[in-house]
Amino acid sequence: MTTQLLPMGPAASQIAIKQLGTNGGGFFNVNSAHPFENPTPLSNFLEMLAILLIPAALCYTFGEMVGDRRQGWALLAVMTVIFVPLMIGCVAAEQAGNPALHGLHVDQHASALQAGGNMEGKEVRFGIVDSAIWSTATTAASNGSVNSMLDSYTPLGGLIRCG
């Protein structure tokens, strides 16, 4: 073989549709883990914001529709109270490392040379925290997009996303 086929196309223009529309399908097979779709931690944060923007706005819209904004704010508060502990739990589970490796004496602690925790299936650009927050946010919004390999999460980190 003398040639290599590189998939190219209008990936960046499709991201707003993917995240705001919560369809989750990416231009590339690796979805938002691909550098053309999600090149920096800043773009990662902005995409997470877009994922959660419409669900948050619909809480306010609900309050307007029923004629009592406080009901919309109460709904948003309940959603936040459920989301934040699950997000923190997923981050903590991933940062603690893979329990299957503890018996093998694998060093999973953070140091100057390694991020620590469970970096399996995570993009080095985003690390454990951003990947865990992303997976929790996309699960909460029923978005479906990924920036890390969800099958590579720790058992507890994967279970929390199912909650």
Residue-wise pLDDT tens digits, 11-68:
777 777 777 776 767 777 778 888 888 888 898 898 888 888 888 999 999 999 999 9
The SS3 call for residue 148 is: strand
Task: Specify the pTM.
Answer: 0.84
User: pLDDT band at 111, cuts 50/70/90?
Assistant: confident
Q: Per mean pLDDT, which of 37-41, 71-75, 119-123 is the most reliable?
A: 71-75
Residue labelled with tokens 């040639």:
3
φ/ψ of 16, rounded to 5, equals -60, -40
Q: What is the mean predicted confidence (pLDDT) over 79-97?
A: 93
Contact 116, 97 (CB under 8 A): yes
Output DSSP code: residue 122: B
Q: Indicate if the pLDDT at residue 146 is higher than 90.
A: no
Alpha carbon distance 23, 102 (integer Å): 37
Residue 137 has a CB neighbour count (10 Å cut-off) of 19
> Residue 22: what pLDDT?
67
The SS3 call for residue 5 is: coil
| Sign of the torsion formed by the C-alpha atoms of 116, 118, 119 and 123 | negative
Q: Indicate if the pLDDT at residue 83 is higher than 80.
A: yes
> Residue 116: what pLDDT?
81
Between these two residues, 154 and 111, which has the higher pLDDT value? 154
